[in-house]
Amino acid sequence: MRILFVGDVVGRPGRDAVEGLLPALKDRLDIDACVVNGENVANGVGITPRLAERLMAAGADAITLGNHAWRREEIGPYLASSAAVVRPANFQSAAPGRGLAFVEARDGAPVAVLNLLGSLFLDPAHSMWEVVDDLVDEARAVTPVIVVDVHAEATSEKVALASWLDGRVTAVLGTHTHVQTADARVLPGGTAALTDVGMTGPHDSVIGVETKLAIRRMRTGMPVRFETASGGVRLEGAVVTCDPATGRASAIELVRVPWPAT
């Protein structure tokens, strides 16, 4: 089974890249299931029901979120009834939605998708370490194919989580920093790991934001309204190959595709 994970889709440029590239990319890479991180799709922060539907129409089987999950309040009721869009599992338990979803691969096989939020700078209601083992057990009762999106700032938290889950999940893939890392590997127990899958959006920017605006805010400490940049758009992500009978990964490859296609 081949699973494509698409890194954080930022604003309209990211959305355009997903809609323009994903259908053919899934064909070319022979993809069975596709997970997209969509927490920045609504003008750089948050997601709306309409945009979630658009990402799924373009080929996402599941959508993961992160620290900006609640920026658009209309997503709350949608998450409460969605089987395919997850928010971090370690948010407050009274918040709508769930952090674990089961979706179907191309042949109908179940794939579990688990979304967790790291602690550094992101201040989750509970540490991901408090909830992860029970959620992995819950997922493994249904399927051995489990993809974890660890949305976190700190590389150390992501690397540690991958080692902790090695042999129990198919992949531990990092999101949030928007910078693709060069450490794709399959750990000894058969878990594919990557500290950050990267960003689907404008790379001539400061992690998606118009460069001059990001620098102005940093230099002055004054409030500056951020706008999504537009240049150097790429779809970034990773493909994990695994045995659907055991969930063990055999390979992980980086994906970087320019948009518009050259």
Active-site amino acid positions: 68
Rounded CA-CA distance 2/136 in Å is: 20
- Beta carbon of residue 65, minimum distance to Fe ion (angstroms, whole number): 8
Q: How far apart are CA 19 and CA 34, in angstroms?
A: 13
Query: What pairs with residue 111 in β-bridges?
Result: 103
CB of 152 to Fe ion, least distance (A): 9
Q: Which amino acid would we find at residue 30? A: D
Q: Under a CB-based contact definition with an 8 Å cutoff, are residues 148 and 161 in contact?
A: yes
When the beta carbons of 45 and 252 are compared against Fe ion, the nearer one is 45
CB–CB of 210/204 below 8 Å?
no
Q: Cα 41 vs. chain centroid, distance in angstroms?
A: 12
Closest approach of Cβ 179 to Fe ion, in Å?
12
Q: Write the DSSP assignment of 10-47 as a string of letters.
A: -HHHHHHHHHHHHHHHHHHTT-SEEEEE-TTTTTTS--
Bridge partners (DSSP) of residue 209 are 206, 228
> What is the closest distance, in whole angstroms, from the C-beta atom of residue 121 to Fe ion in the complex?
10
State the nearest-atom distance from the C-beta of 21 to Fe ion, in Å: 22
**Chain residues in the site for Fe ion (CB under 5 A):** 66-67, 176
Q: What is the CA radius of gyration of the chain?
A: 17
DSSP structure string for 107-135: TS-EEEEEEEE-STTT--SS-HHHHHHHH
Q: Cα(169)–Cα(241) distance, rounded to whole angstroms?
A: 13
Distance CA 198, CA 124 (A): 22
Q: In what helix (H) or strand (E) does residue 156 lie, and over which residues does it extend? A: helix 155-165
Smallest separation (angstroms) from Fe ion to the CB of 37: 8
Do residues 92 and 125 lie in contact, with contact meaning Cβ atoms separated by under 8 Å?
Answer: yes
